[in-house]
Amino acid sequence: MSVTVSSPGVRSIYGSTRSPKLLGSLSWPGRVIMAVQSNVISVAPILTKLKKDCATPLPVLRHVADAMASDMRAGLAVEGGSDLKMILSYVDSLPTGNEKGLFYALDLGGTNFRVLRVQLGGKEERVIATEFEQVSIPPELMFGTSEELFDFIASGLAKFAEKEGGKFNLPDKQTREIGFTFSFPVQQTSVDSGILIKWTKGFAVSGTAGKDVVACLNEAMQRLGLDMRVSALVNDTVGTLAGARYWDDDVMVAVILGTGTNACYVERIDAIPKLQCHNSTFGRTIINTEWGAFSNGLPLTEFDREMDADSINPGEQIFEKTISGMYLGEIVRRVLLKMAQAGELFGDSISEKLLTPFMLRTPDVCAIQQDTSKDLEVVGSFLRDVVGVSSKLSARQIVVEVCDTIAKRGGRLAGAGIVGILEKMEMDSKGLIFGKRTVVAMDGGLYEHYPQYRTYLQEAVNELLGPEITKNIVIEHTKDGSGIGAALLAATNSKYGHNF
């Protein structure tokens, strides 16, 4: 479609250009724009429909929160009872601060693995010292055999352990114990064992699915003669909760908002009908919700549906696909591509880069929203250098508006999910959640680095709970909590107890 652009400018708080053709108000923090160019007008219906389909007014948030709580109950009642797996972690005792000794953590969740050691000094000294290293996994091992991968990991652990010294001290005749954070789908069978369901995140390792991943690692360490054992197998969300709980007894929920997303929380044993023959001296355990699979009543657009259909897991992980860092940039790209095709947003040619799936990343979307310059020069430079398109100011304003729309929906839905978890806990605990200080530990790059997303999340929590309850709910960033949390859970489940 060819469009003749006859009107050159915009009306804004920074100046005025008169024209009879007005798109209407485009707004985001600190800026209200009246865009007038004909190419802008041609994409107006797409933007209007996008905003309508992504809208998260209070009734939508309330439905999402209630549905989250309902699905949690269904998942606790019977295996496969809802989209939420509600996996038992077998972590019944959380760190108290009394833990002492030297413990290791291994975090395997992507193309790198991280090893960490921590010297714990009990109530008085707490964390005496920590050290960590990150090791890249060669691409060929992601498609190799189970033995090759775990031998490589064990070798990295051995090299790291060789550097132990200084403030790190292991008592004589003790085996080094590890908390193993394994961020792939696992059916946990005890606190120190779990069966791999399938590899994800680009891994296609043969010979591991259906096996105990702890046994795989322990056997690799034995082949090397490495005197170490795994005493706790944990999901990264569970590790985050444990790490935050070590410093703050009021932590009851942990959420990760990064490339992917998940949440876990402290649950009462008697509130888990599907649980049989599991005795807990503490009467509680941590439940890994796997909330990325939630899908009930989410406001979805044509772009979400197309992205889902094109994904490697269509029909699955719908909540994750609307709120996590892996997908926000791709949704924005698809919107901009349609605008470019339908309304010549960036001129009469379509950039090859804009046609490339996942070329637009969520950090790019965040950077676009941080541009406060008068003419959105940073946005213009990004569109030129990364997307390969030239842009007028009016087009750049629309790009910002699209980014804000997708981030706002994601943040507010994440906030509603958190409220759903809290409300489920509150209903079962008779006022013991909302009636006192309750902390939600947050980790992940999306939450940490995207201020608008964070703000939208908090706003949704405030709207749903109201000022009186909200003042007791603390959402607190816990950076890199899962690593030290895994080491702490190794200490909590140590075969030596705490008699150091």
The Cα–Cα gap between 396 and 375 comes to: 9
Cβ-count burial 9-44 (b if 16+ within 10 Å, e if not): bbbbeeeeeebeeebeebebeebebbbbbbbbbbbb
CA geometry: angle at 370 spanning 364 and 373, to 5°? 120
Q: Is the separation of the CB atoms in 88 and 272 below 8 Å?
A: yes
Q: In this structure, are residues 489 and 239 in contact, taking their beta carbons and an 8 Å threshold?
A: yes
Known catalytic residue: 21?
A: no
The single-letter code of the amino acid at 111 is T
Secondary structure of residue 456 in the 3-state scheme: helix
DSSP state of 13: T
Rounded Cα gap, residues 362 and 339, in angstroms: 19
- How far is the C-alpha of 472 from the C-alpha of 158, rounded, in Å? 45
Q: Rounded distance, CA 298 to CA 153, Å?
A: 40
- Name the residue with tokens 């714990």: 120
- Give CA–CA dist 34/82, Å, rounded: 46
Let me know the angle formed at the C-alpha of 435 by 431 and 440, rounded to the nearest 5 degrees: 100
Structure tokens at 378: 């940073």
Q: Cβ–Cβ contacts within 10 Å for residue 282, how many?
A: 11
Does the active-site annotation cover 201? yes
- Which residue in the list 159, 198, 201, 495 is annotated as catalytic? 201
Sign of CA dihedral 72, 78, 82, 85: positive
**Rounded Cα distance, 487 and 114, in Å:** 12
One of 151, 236, 304, 371 is an active-site residue; which one?
236
Residues with a catalytic annotation lie at 201, 236
